[in-house]
Amino acid sequence: MKFAGRMNSFIHKGDVDIFQTIEKYRNMKGITHLEFNYPEHIAPNDMQKLIDCIGDMKVNGVATRFKNHFVAGEFTNPNQDICRDAVQLCKDAVDACVQLHGEVLTVWLGFDGFDYAFQIDYEEKWNATIKAYQEVADYANEKGIKVSIEYKPFEPRAFSMIDGIGLTLLALQEINRPNVGVTLDFCHMLMKNESPAYSLALAARNGKLFGLHMNDGYRVMDSGLIFGSVNTPQALEFVYYLKKYNYDGVVFFDSFPFREDAQKEIEMNIEMFNRLSQTVDKIGMDKIAEVVAKQDGVASQGLILEMLK
Ligand SMILES: [Mn+2]
C-alpha cells in the first residue's frame, strides 16, 4: 500500500518546520509518499530547497488551502476579482505540483457555500463552480496533473456548494473533463450521513476515485480520529471495496493528533489500515462477496463477527 500523512500533524505542534517534517516522514516505517498544502507549505519556502529535501521520496500531490481572503467564497465569491484569485491559486498549486513531481491537485472549497436563505443565487453559483473547475482542469491537463474534488457537507459554511457524493458526481458530469475526479474523506462522508463504501463504489465504478483522506469520527463533526477507531465495520467494508475496485492510489491519513504524539498517531493509522486489510484478505474476497450477495443483515453481522475474531 502507498501511505502518506499530514504535514501539519507535526508542524502544528509548533516545534518543527516543513523540512524537519519531511525528514520525520522519510524515517517513518510504512510511509511512501508526501502530500503538501498550497500555498501554506510551499510558497513561503525556496522551491529548490524543498526539492532537495524531498530527495528520492515520492510526492502524491498538492492540496489547496484557501485562507481568509476567500472567506466569502472561492469560486462563488461575490467579488469577481477574488474568484479569479481562487482560480489562479489553483493554477499556481498545479505548477507547484509539477515541480514537486506530484500527480494530483486536491481541491477543497471550504468557503464556497451559504449560511442564510436568500443569500445566493443557486443556479448562478453552481454554474460558476463548474466553469471554474473546467478552467483549472484544462490548465492541469496540459501539465499532466489530475484534479480531485474533496467534498464536505458543511463547516465552515452552514451549507457547502458541493456537499456529498451525489453533487460531486453531478459536478463531474457537468465539468466533463477526464482529469477530474473525487477524493473521499471518511469524516466528511460520515458528516453527510453517507455510507462510505457506497460513496466509494459510486466514485470507483467510473474510474473517478482519485484520492483518499482516511480518518474516523462520530458524524456530527470533522473529528479526524484514527482510521477504523469508531466505525470499524464501515472501515472494514471500505477496505473491502478498495480491493474490489483495485484502488492503487495513495492512502493519506487526514487525522488530527491534537493531544497525541504525532508520529505514534500516524503509525497507528497505518497499523489500523494494514490490520483491516489483512482481515479482509484472511476472510477472502470471494467469501465476502458471497455474503453480500445474500442481502441478509444477519449474515452480514455474522461476517463482521468473524472479522473481529
Ligand atoms: Mn480531508
Whether the Cβ atoms of residue 216 and residue 223 lie closer than 8 Å to each other = yes
CB-based burial label for 72 (10 Å; 0-12, 13-18, 19+): middle
Distance 150 CA to ligand 1 centre (A): 7
Give the domain CATH number at 229. Answer: 3.20.20.150
Distance 188 CA to ligand 1 centre (A): 7
- Residue with cell string 487526514: 254
Distance 78 CA to ligand 1 centre (A): 26
Distance 254 CA to ligand 1 centre (A): 5
Strands (E), 86-226: 104-107, 113-114, 146-150, 159-160, 180-185, 209-214
Q: What is the pLDDT of residue 205?
A: 98
Distance 222 CA to ligand 1 centre (A): 9
pTM: 0.98
Distance 299 CA to ligand 1 centre (A): 33
Distance 212 CA to ligand 1 centre (A): 8
Distance CA 36, CA 296 (A): 43
Counting the structural domains of the chain, the total is: 1
Q: Is 221 within a domain?
A: yes
Distance 309 CA to ligand 1 centre (A): 31
Distance 34 CA to ligand 1 centre (A): 15
Distance CA 99, CA 95 (A): 6
Q: Is 296 within a domain?
A: no
Distance 255 CA to ligand 1 centre (A): 8
Q: Is 309 within a domain?
A: no
Distance 31 CA to ligand 1 centre (A): 18
Q: What angle do CA 96, 97, 100 make, to 5 degrees?
A: 85
Q: Is 290 within a domain?
A: no
CB-based burial label for 293 (10 Å; 0-12, 13-18, 19+): exposed
Q: What is the pLDDT of residue 78?
A: 98
User: What does the DSSP assignment read for 4-51?
Assistant: EE-THHHHTTSS--HHHHHHHHHTSTTB-EEEEEETTTTTTS-HHHHH
Distance 82 CA to ligand 1 centre (A): 24
Give the bridge partners for 59, in sequence order: 34
Q: Is 291 within a domain?
A: no
Distance 291 CA to ligand 1 centre (A): 32
In one-letter notation, the amino acid at residue 216 is D
Distance 124 CA to ligand 1 centre (A): 27
**Domain limits for position 163:** 2-281
Distance 55 CA to ligand 1 centre (A): 26
Q: Is 289 within a domain?
A: no
Distance 179 CA to ligand 1 centre (A): 20
Distance 139 CA to ligand 1 centre (A): 23
Per-residue model confidence as pLDDT tens for the chain (309 residues): 999 999 999 999 998 999 999 999 999 999 999 999 999 999 999 999 999 999 999 999 999 999 999 999 999 999 999 999 999 999 999 999 999 999 999 999 999 999 999 999 999 999 999 999 999 999 999 999 999 999 999 999 999 999 999 999 999 999 999 999 999 999 999 999 999 999 999 999 999 999 999 999 999 999 999 999 999 999 999 999 999 999 999 999 999 999 999 999 999 999 999 999 999 999 999 999 999 999 999 999 999 999 999
Q: What is the pLDDT of residue 133?
A: 99
Distance 14 CA to ligand 1 centre (A): 21
Q: Is 76 within a domain?
A: yes
Distance 50 CA to ligand 1 centre (A): 23
What is the maximum alpha-carbon separation in the chain?
58
> Which grid cell is 237?
467494508
Q: Is 91 within a domain?
A: yes
